[in-house]
Amino acid sequence: MSTQKRGQNEDSIYKDGDRWRGAVSLGYGPDGKRTRKKVSGKTRAEVVEKVRKLKEALAKGAPVPDDRLTVGTFLDRWLLHLPGHISDGTLDDYEDTVRLHLKPGLGRHKLTKLTVAQVDALWQAKRKAGYKANSVRNMRAVLRKALGQAEREGLIMRNVAALSMPPRVPVEEGRTLTVEEGKRLLDAVADHRMGVLVLLALVFGLRRGEALGLMWNALDLDARTLRVTHSVKRLKNRDPNATTKTRIVVSELKTRRSRRVLCLTPELIEAIKRHKATHNKERLRTGEDWTEHGLMFPTVFGNPSDPDTFSHLFSRLAKKAGLGHWHPHELRHSGASLMLAQGTPLHVVSEVLGHASIAITKDVYGHLLEGDRRAATEAISSALLGKQTPVAPKVAPEDADDTG
């Protein structure tokens, strides 16, 4: 190893074999020993520039960059700090995305050296593997959020996930029940213990978890309203002593738009009253084995209903009605479509559905408004053009002489 006299403000720079190396003093640690950050390069000039940038960053208060920290290690650390800041369901989704997609594709890369090209390559690979564009966008959103934290901590200079190219998500027109199909479905489920749930989900476009989470204390028969306040979800079981991997929980809806009041008609109130009578008989029949949760649509023992079990049940009920396989989420899409078809204003539909903004409603259901847009155009066209009586242009006397 050979050394060379340091230049001004260069700290320690020396040649080690065929590589140049440099070190910047970071002061002294708790043990009293001097700590240094090392860099290397092919040429002396390269190392001098790295040392300069490092000292400049340290002078601005940035943390010491860790060139050995991998993307996978950082993602694991990031996930550990999320509990308490996001919902358990969102945390489950983030953990699955990191475990199944981000770590296998990018985990071995050094965090400070991750490039936009490498991130774009992962999205392209996922698309070629058959993942839908929306799924890839969700992966990108999770990585962007994680790297945003790394950027705030000063571990990276830029968020390459935010700079990556998001896949274009085409608007897919989902299936919707017609009025006739809706009537057939409701006739088929009328005598089922979950029949009124299907009715409310279709009328108000409720999410599956919201419908299963409807509470008796949220029903006001005098005001003819029903508040949507809770949701039933299946989440990962984080108890190390648990015997099952997942658990079913009833949780309060967190956003203002998702907590909403539904206005009931006399017909809906009668249906709910009939369901209440059946519910009370079921509770008395179960006796001491009943566990009260205050839910309108629990299991036969009073516990929260499994969302996946309800999906399978609904599929069987739809087939019984002669409609084939349908998913509960298609009740939500059908409810929104039927509301719009009956002339309900878009902003009202957005409030009933509990969308975060009217923009979301427009993106999902805007294609259903073509008839309204056409009617509006015809109305203004008729007003401006259709009712006018053509007036013959006036002819000046000299023009009349010319034509004669």
**pLDDT tens, 206-261?**
999 999 999 999 999 999 999 999 999 999 888 888 888 899 999 999 888 899 99
Q: Quick one: pLDDT band at residue 28, thresholds 50, 70, 90?
A: low
Q: Residue 295: name the closest of 222, 217, 191 by CA.
A: 217
pLDDT digit string, tens, across residues 95-112? 999 999 999 999 999 998
Q: Is 294 left (phi over 0), alpha (psi -120 to 50) or beta?
A: left
pLDDT of residue 281 exceeding 90, the answer is yes
pLDDT at position 380 over 90? no
pLDDT at 389 over 70: no
Taking the C-alpha atoms of residue 230 and residue 218, their distance in angstroms, rounded to an integer, is 10
Cβ atoms of residues 238 and 91 within 8 Å? no
Rounded mean pLDDT of 74-95? 92
Which pLDDT tens digit goes with each residue over 49-79?
888 887 877 776 666 666 788 999 999 999 9
What pLDDT, on the 0 to 100 scale, is given for residue 75?
A: 97
- The pLDDT of residue 396 is above 60: no
* Res. 7 pLDDT band, cuts 50 70 90: very low
Q: Which residues of 176-203 are buried (b: 16+ CB within 10 A; e: fewer)?
A: bbeeebbebbbebbeeebbbbbbbbbbb
CB contact burial 111-137 (16+ within 10 A = b; e otherwise)? bbebeeeebbebbeebeeeebebebbe
pLDDT at site 181: 94
Q: Say if residue 13's pLDDT is above 50.
A: yes
Q: Which residue has the higher pLDDT, 382 or 153?
A: 153
Instruction: Note the pTM of the prediction, 2 decimals.
Output: 0.70
Task: Provide the percentage of residues in the chain whose pLDDT is more than 70.
Answer: 84
The predicted structure's pLDDT at residue 404: 42
For residue 47, pLDDT beyond 70: yes
Burial of 322 (0-12, 13-18, 19+ CB in 10 A): exposed
| Biggest alpha carbon–alpha carbon distance for the chain | 114
Indicate the residue type of 320.
K
Q: Report the chain's mean pLDDT, rounded to a whole number.
A: 86
> Helices marked H in 190-306 — which ranges?
195-204, 208-212, 266-286
Outline where 42-157 has alpha helix (H).
Answer: 44-59, 71-80, 88-97, 103-106, 116-128, 133-152
Could you say which DSSP state residue 216 is in?
A: G
Alpha carbons 222 and 35: distance in angstroms, whole number: 73
Q: Is the Cα dihedral 224, 284, 208, 196 positive or negative? A: negative
Please give the pLDDT value at position 1: 46
CA pair distance 49, 10, nearest whole angstrom: 9
Query: Tell me: the pLDDT tens digits for 149-168?
Result: 998 887 888 899 999 998 88
Looking at residue 68, what is its pLDDT? 80
**In this model, does residue 279 exceed pLDDT 90?**
yes
Q: Where are the beta strands (DSSP E) in 224-330?
A: 225-228, 230-236, 246-252, 260-263
Query: In whole angstroms, what is the distance from residue 172 CA to residue 385 CA?
Result: 37
**Cβ count within 10 A of residue 44:** 17
